[in-house]
């Protein structure tokens, strides 16, 4: 049994201390109020344009004058009459309703309705889907 050391306990006290508050904690409202109550010195810094969102709005003023001087009425392209008629004819030949056609191309029935009434803004992807579903060439030669 030589070389075995009897177990002994260390009864020294262990002291745990809280760390000093870091920069983020010093800005915390609770920490500031605690410091005020304790009479500590509190430094307040006003940052210029903080919370005013000035940098984002300053760039728009450059374009405002151009927009004011613009006299031409600009509108979105609408579905041409030939395309409206072509969609309607092809759909009728296939004996499909607007909602059935919409289901075939995974769009809402409202999309087909807008294309046939000419209110839609032409989207080449949707027109391609319509051509595939109806098996007809809707656009002119490219």
Express each pLDDT in 5-14 by its tens digit: 677 777 888 8
Name which of 112, 91, 109 is nearest 99 in CA terms: 109
* pTM attached to this predicted model: 0.46
d(CA 107, CA 87): 15
Write down the pLDDT at residue 56: 55
Distances (CA, A) of 68 to 25, 33, 75, 76, 138: 49, 51, 16, 19, 39
d(CA 108, CA 15): 69
Write down the pLDDT at residue 142: 41
**Alpha helix positions (H), 11-139:** 23-27, 29-38, 54-58, 60-69, 81-93, 98-104, 109-117, 124-134
Write down the pLDDT at residue 36: 80
d(CA 20, CA 115): 67
pLDDT tens for the 142 residues of the chain, in order: 566 767 777 788 888 877 665 666 566 777 778 878 887 777 777 766 666 666 555 555 666 767 677 777 777 778 788 888 889 999 999 999 999 999 999 999 999 999 889 888 888 899 899 999 998 888 765 4
Phi/psi-derived region of residue 45, left when phi > 0, alpha when psi is between -120 and 50, beta in every other case? beta
Phi/psi-derived region of residue 9, left when phi > 0, alpha when psi is between -120 and 50, beta in every other case? beta
């Amino acid at each position: 049994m030589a070389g075995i050391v009897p177990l002994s306990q260390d009864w020294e006290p262990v002291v745990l201390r809280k760390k000093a508050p870091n920069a983020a904690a010093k800005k915390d409202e609770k920490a500031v109020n605690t410091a005020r109550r304790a009479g500590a010195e509190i430094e307040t810094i006003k940052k210029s344009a903080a919370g005013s969102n000035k940098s984002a709005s300053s760039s728009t003023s450059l374009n405002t004058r151009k927009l004011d001087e613009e006299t031409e009425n600009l509108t979105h392209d609408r579905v041409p009459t030939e395309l409206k008629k072509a969609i309607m004819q092809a759909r009728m030949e296939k004996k499909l309703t607007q909602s059935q056609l919409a289901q075939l191309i995974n769009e809402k029935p409202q999309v087909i309705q807008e294309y046939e009434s000419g209110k839609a803004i032409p989207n080449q992807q949707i027109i391609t889907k319509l051509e595939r579903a109806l098996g007809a060439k809707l656009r002119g030669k490219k």
